[in-house]
Amino acid sequence: MALPHGLGSHPYLPTEAVIAGYAANETPLPKILIKFSLRIVAVLLSSIALSRQFNPRLRLADLLAVSWFSLNGYLHLFFESYFVLNAATLAGSQSLLAQLWKEYALSDSRYLTSDTFVWTIEAISVVCWGPLSVATAFCIVRGSNMRYPLQLLLSMAHIYGVALYYGTSTVDLASKGIAHSRPEFLYFWVYYVGMNLPWAVVPAGFIFSSVRKICRALDMAERAELAAIPNNSNGSKKSQ
């Protein structure tokens, strides 16, 4: 999408934002997206293939869950870690990931303006949620019930992160009149909304299923304990 001219030294909002060393992407957008999409497809397909190899009994729902958490692991540990480690020089770089971040920043310029909130929340995602995503996928493949508390924790973290992400940007716009996203459909609705909303919708489903599974297990354990009480009482009377 062509951007209007006359916006200063960069195409981001707000126009007065200082983006040191900014250099426009040299690679055409379709080529950037195709390269990154191929990586995503490779992660999804390889996670499903490896999961079926190690545990052929996995249901379709489990395979989809493994692919979701594997994708999260990749994005947190590689894509977002690149931003965290290279935030200071991102604007002028022409690497594939840097160009992806500069393209996405058209929907949120905070990624190129040394915004402390964005850097911090991404750093937390890299250090905490990346490894946890991998651990959750591993537990699902192994058939371990540890998957339920892990995916509950991770899903709550994702929803909380999305809420903070949208919330801080909305407050800036409402209270200060500062817009970080360009208004074009591609940048606002596809990038800003469409690329973040899944991390609120999908985790909500995992939270529901995890809570239901944990509650059922606790109910069964409680009923088993209650059922064992009369037997213990009868046994003690007989011994007398």
| 80-108 pLDDT, tens digit each | 999 999 999 999 999 999 999 999 999 99
Give the span between the Cα atoms of 122 and 79, in whole angstroms. 10
Kindly report, residue by residue over 118-146, the tens digit of the pLDDT: 999 999 999 999 999 999 999 999 999 99
Give the span between the Cα atoms of 64 and 140, in whole angstroms. 10
For tokens 């003690």, name the residue: 236
pTM: 0.89
Q: Which of 193, 145, 153, 184 is nearest to 2 (CA)?
A: 184
Sign of CA pseudo-dihedral 175, 18, 166, 132: negative
**pLDDT band per the 50, 70, 90 thresholds, residue 8:** low
Tell whether the model's pLDDT for residue 231 goes beyond 90.
Answer: no
Tell whether the model's pLDDT for residue 10 goes beyond 60.
Answer: yes
The predicted pLDDT at position 238 comes to 52
**pLDDT band per the 50, 70, 90 thresholds, residue 233:** low
Contact 86, 112 (CB under 8 A): no
The predicted pLDDT at position 5 comes to 36
The predicted pLDDT at position 159 comes to 98
For tokens 């916006």, name the residue: 7
The predicted pLDDT at position 97 comes to 98
Average pLDDT across the chain, whole number: 93
**pLDDT band per the 50, 70, 90 thresholds, residue 1:** very low
Q: SS3 sequence, the chain?
A: CCCCCCCCCCCCCCCCCCCCCCCCCCCCHHHHHHHHHHHHHHHHHHHHHHHHHHCCCCCHHHHHHHHHHHHHHHHHHHHHHHHHHHCCCHHHCCCHHHHHHHHHCCCCHHHHCCCHHHHHHHHHHHHHHHHHHHHHHHHHHHCCCCHHHHHHHHHHHHHHHHHHHHHHHHHHHHHHCCCCCCCCHHHHHHHHHHCCCHHHHHHHHHHHHHHHHHHHHHHHHHHHHHHHHHHHHHHHHHHC
Q: What percent of the chain has pLDDT over 90?
A: 88
Structure tokens at 147: 């998957």
Mean of the pLDDT values across residues 64-74? 98
**pLDDT band per the 50, 70, 90 thresholds, residue 2:** very low
Mean of the pLDDT values across residues 67-77? 98
Across 3-12, 58-67, 133-142, least confident range: 3-12
Tell whether the model's pLDDT for residue 237 goes beyond 60.
Answer: no
Mean of the pLDDT values across residues 45-56? 97
